Structure 1
Amino acid sequence: MQEGTIMELVKWFIGLFLIMMIVALAVFLFQMGDVNTFKQQVNYQIERNGGLTQEAMASINDYSERHFNGRFTVESDLLNTRVNYGDTVDYKVNGVFEIVIFAIPDVKMQFAGTGVSQVR
C-alpha cells in the first residue's frame, strides 16, 4: 500500500519538474526572439549613420539598455569607422540570456549580422 503512495508522489515530482523545464525553455526562446529586433535596430543605425560610428554605437548601447536591460552588445572590425555609401558592415551581436527558475549559469551566444550604409 505504501508503494502506491510513494509512486504517486514521484509521479507528481517528475510532472512538476517537467513543467518547470518547459516554462524555462519557453522563456529562454522568448528572450532569443529579441535578437532579431536588436539586429534590426543595429542595421537601422548603420544605414542612418554610415557605419558603426560613435553616434551609432551610443544609440545602439542606449537601445540595448532601455529595451533589453543591456543584454546585447555589438562588436565589429569596423567599429567607430564611417564607411562609404553601399559598403557593407559585418558585425556580431553578443547576447547573454538568463535561465529562469533553475540556478544554472547564463547562456552566452553570438549572432552574425550585416548592414549596408545608406549615407552619401
Structure 2
Amino acid sequence: MLDGSLTAIAKMYLAILIIAGLVSVASFFIQANQGNEYKQYINYQIERNGGLTVSAMEKLNEYNNKYYDGRFKIESPMMNQKVKYGDEITYTVTGSFKILYFDLPIQTISIKGSALSLIR
C-alpha cells in the first residue's frame, strides 16, 4: 500500500520537474528569438539614419529599454558614424538571458548582422 503512494508522489514530482524544464527551455528560446526581432529594428534604424548615428542609437536604446528591459547591447566598429549611401554597417547584438526556475548562470548569445545605409 505504501509503495503505491510513494510511486504516485514520485511520478507527480517528476512530472512537475519536467513541465518546469519545458517551460524554462521555451522561455529561453522565446527570449533568444527576440534578438532577431531587435536585429530587424536595428537594420531599420541604420537604413533610416545612415548608420549607427547618435540619433539612431538613442532610438535603439529607448526601444531596447521599453520592450526588452535593456537586455541587448550593440557593438560595432562604426558606432556614432554617419556613412554614405550604400555603405554596409556590420554590428553584433549581444543578449543576456536568465533561465527560469533553475539557478543557472546568465546566458549570453551574440547575433551578427549588417545593413545598408539608405540615406543620401
State TM-score, norm by structure 1: 0.93
1:28 aligned partner: 28
2:100 aligned partner: 100
Tell me the alpha carbon deviations over residues 49-83 of structure 1, each in whole angstroms, 9 at most, x when there is no partner.
11111111111111100111101111001111111
Give the C-alpha shift of residue 12 in structure 1. 1.2
Secondary structure at 2:90's aligned position in 1? strand
Where do 5+ consecutive residues of structure 1 fail to align? none
2:14 aligned partner: 14
How many residues matched? 120
Give the C-alpha shift of residue 103 in structure 1. 2.3
Tell me the alpha carbon deviations over residues 59-110 of structure 1, each in whole angstroms, 9 at most, x when there is no partner.
1111100111101111001111111110100100010112112222221110
How far apart in 1 are the matches of 2:36 and 2:110? 12
Off by >3 Å, runs of 4+ in structure 1: none
How far apart in 2 are the matches of 1:11 and 1:66? 42
In structure 1, give the amino acid aligned to 2:116: V
How far apart in 2 are the matches of 1:37 and 1:11? 39
1:3 aligned partner: 3
How far apart in 1 are the matches of 2:6 and 2:58? 59
How far apart in 2 are the matches of 1:30 and 1:109? 13
Question: 2:82 aligned with 1:82, yes or no?
Answer: yes
**What is the root-mean-square deviation in Å for CA atoms of aligned residues?**
1.1
In structure 1, give the amino acid aligned to 2:35: V
Give the C-alpha shift of residue 7 in structure 1. 1.8
Tell me the alpha carbon deviations over residues 17-45 of structure 1, each in whole angstroms, 9 at most, x when there is no partner.
00110111111111122112111110011
Question: 2:103 aligned with 1:116, yes or no?
Answer: no
Where do 5+ consecutive residues of structure 2 fail to align? none
Secondary structure at 2:115's aligned position in 1? strand
Secondary structure at 1:119's aligned position in 2? coil
Secondary structure at 1:108's aligned position in 2? strand
How far apart in 2 are the matches of 1:110 and 1:23? 23
Give the C-alpha shift of residue 16 in structure 1. 0.8
